[in-house]
């Protein structure tokens, strides 16, 4: 059964699911149908292709109508953000997103709660399930978000682990699709057959997530990085578990990777927790920096993307960051709209 989102300035609201009847003021409808049966977002494939398509369509509507009417799908709800890692884009976009959807964001640094003093993940999930309506978790060990989801009775969103970063990948794909889909057209379908080239540390969480995301979206992906930093057994096992063939190409030649690419993508070479390896990593990965010459070897209309923060002169040169086809700040903005769509969907699911 199709449902819809509506919003408008009003003093009284009656709402059920994603349907909002509003009294007073202009009526604006979010009419895209949503059909979901899951309640966590821990990895890209937690949404099936048709569900991901619906998330993108809702993100487009929320973006277009921001500042006018946003459906209060989190009204009277509090969503907790548990962060073990520092953040700019992730924290701000989620806090603003919860607020704009009518909810209350509650930021919890892991060291400020008992989880940082030895309380079990399982007990934490059970306790917080009595207080809040959703968890947004940014941590190191991917099993932590899985255990929170398994032990609690509220939706859990993976806001980054050392293994995967699904919110970023959905944001990136949405940002690409905005450019490739015809106006009002199918955003998800516009991704099919497109090629992304990922350069640098191809064993990092962003590379893992893009390997899984490309399989879900029907995209081609080529990764280039030094030996010893190639995609690992864990992502290969996850691909198999999710029913995908090993869909990616790995090479040590960056120019081979970017050939015919629609998007050239990189990330920092030294992730949080790897700071002691900084000198070694920079030395090994310097041949994979996105220079003007390397970017020019992709398609003439290729875009450059980076999940930020960027380190000019390391993984990417300033001339590429300043290129008109660099869309890094559109990426950053779209974290807000895409994550609002994800939260709006998860908030409507039956609780365990």
pLDDT tens for each residue of 96-132? 999 999 999 999 988 888 887 789 999 999 999 999 9
Can you tell me the mean pLDDT for 336-348?
95
Lowest-confidence pick of 3-7, 12-16, 83-87: 12-16
Can you tell me the mean pLDDT for 328-339?
98
Helix (H) or strand (E) segment spanning residue 248 = strand 248-251
**CA nearest to 191, candidates 168, 175, 167, 206:** 175
What are the angstrom distances between the C-alpha of 102 and each of 7, 11, 128, 214, 339?
A: 11, 14, 20, 33, 14
User: Domains along the chain?
Assistant: 169-327 (3.40.50.1370)
Which positions are annotated as active-site residues?
138, 165, 168, 267, 307, 335
Q: How far apart are CA 56 and CA 342, in angstroms?
A: 9
Can you tell me the mean pLDDT for 292-316?
98
CA 110, 112, 114: angle at the middle one, nearest 5? 75
Q: Helix or strand or coil: residue 69?
A: coil
pLDDT tens digit sequence for 251-281: 999 999 999 999 999 999 987 777 888 899 9
Q: Helix or strand or coil: residue 79?
A: strand
Q: Helix or strand or coil: residue 340?
A: helix
Average pLDDT over all residues of the chain: 89
Q: Helix or strand or coil: residue 197?
A: strand
pLDDT tens digit sequence for 160-204: 999 999 999 999 999 999 999 999 999 999 999 999 999 999 999
Q: How far apart are CA 316 and CA 325, in angstroms?
A: 14
What are the angstrom distances between the C-alpha of 201 and each of 57, 100, 110, 198, 342?
A: 32, 35, 27, 9, 28
* Cβ(298)–Cβ(260) below 8 Å: yes
What is 162-184 written as a DSSP string? SS--HHHHHHHHHHHHHHHSPTT
| Residue ranges of E strands in 102-194 | 104-109, 134-138, 156-158
End-to-end Cα, the chain, rounded Å: 22
Q: How far apart are CA 266 and CA 349, in angstroms?
A: 35
Q: What Rg value do the Cα atoms of the chain yield, rounded?
A: 20
| The pairing of beta strand 134-138 with beta strand 156-158 | parallel
């Amino acid at each position: 059964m199709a449902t819809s989102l509506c919003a408008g300035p009003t003093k009284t609201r009656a709402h059920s699911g994603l349907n909002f009847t509003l009294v007073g003021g202009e009526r604006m409808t979010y009419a895209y149908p949503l059909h979901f049966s899951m309640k966590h977002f821990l990895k890209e494939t937690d949404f099936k292709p048709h569900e991901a398509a619906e998330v993108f369509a809702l993100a487009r509507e929320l973006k277009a109508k921001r500042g006018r009417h946003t459906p209060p799908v989190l009204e009277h709800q509090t969503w907790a953000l548990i962060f073990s890692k520092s953040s700019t884009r992730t924290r701000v976009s989620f806090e603003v997103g919860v607020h704009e959807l009518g909810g209350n964001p509650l930021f919890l640094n892991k060291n400020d709660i008992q989880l940082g003093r030895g309380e079990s993940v399982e007990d934490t999930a059970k306790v917080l399930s009595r207080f809040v309506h959703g968890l947004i978790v940014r941590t190191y060990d991917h099993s932590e978000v899985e255990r929170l989801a398994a032990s609690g009775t509220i939706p859990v969103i993976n806001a980054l682990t050392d293994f995967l970063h699904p919110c970023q990948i959905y944001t990136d794909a949405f940002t690409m699709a905005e450019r490739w889909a015809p106006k009002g057209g199918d955003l998800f379908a516009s991704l099919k057959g497109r090629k992304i080239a990922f350069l640098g540390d191809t064993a990092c969480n962003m590379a893992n997530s893009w390997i899984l995301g490309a399989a879900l979206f029907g995209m081609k992906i080529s990764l280039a990085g030094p030996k010893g930093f190639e995609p690992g057994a864990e992502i290969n096992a996850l691909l198999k578990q999710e029913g995908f063939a090993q869909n990616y190409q790995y090479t040590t030649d960056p120019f081979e990777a970017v050939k015919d690419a629609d998007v050239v993508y990189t990330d920092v070479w030294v992730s949080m927790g790897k700071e002691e390896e900084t000198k070694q990593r920079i030395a090994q990965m310097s041949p994979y920096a996105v220079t003007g010459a390397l970017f020019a070897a992709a398609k003439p209309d290729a875009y450059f993307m980076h999940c930020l923060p960027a380190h000019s002169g390391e993984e990417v040169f300033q001339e590429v960051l300043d290129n008109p086809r660099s869309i890094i700040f559109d990426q950053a903005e779209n974290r807000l709209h895409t994550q609002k769509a994800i939260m709006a969907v998860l908030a409507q699911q039956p609780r365990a």
